[in-house]
Amino acid sequence: MKLLASLAVILATSAIQAAPTGPCSAPEHRQFDFWVGDWRVHKPDGSFAGINRISQEYGGCVIHEHYATGKGYTGESLNIYDGSRKVWHQTWVDSGGLLLTLEGRWDGKSMVMEGSAPGPNGEIAKQRITWTPNADGTVRQLWETADAKGVWTVAFDGTYSSKR
- For the stretch 72-81, pLDDT in tens is 999 999 999 9
Query: Domains in the chain, please, with CATH?
Result: 26-162 (2.40.128.20)
What are 110-145's pLDDT values in tens digits? 999 999 988 777 888 999 999 999 999 999 999 999
Q: Give the angle subtended at the CA of 158 by the CAs of 69 and 112, to the nearest 5°.
A: 115
Q: What is the pTM of this model?
A: 0.85
Q: What is the DSSP letter of 34?
A: G
Q: What is the pLDDT of residue 157?
A: 98
Residue 121's pLDDT is what?
A: 77
If the chain, 164 residues long, is cut into consecutive pieces of 10 residues, what is the mean pLDDT of each piece?
43 42 91 98 98 97 97 98 97 95 98 90 91 98 92 96 89
- Give the model's pLDDT for residue 75: 98
DSSP-derived letter for residue 58 is T
DSSP label at residue 49: E
Indicate the residue type of 4: L
- How many Å apart are CA 69 and CA 96, to the nearest integer? 13
Yes or no: say if 90 and 102 are a contact pair by the CB < 8 Å rule: yes
Q: Quote the pLDDT of residue 147.
A: 85
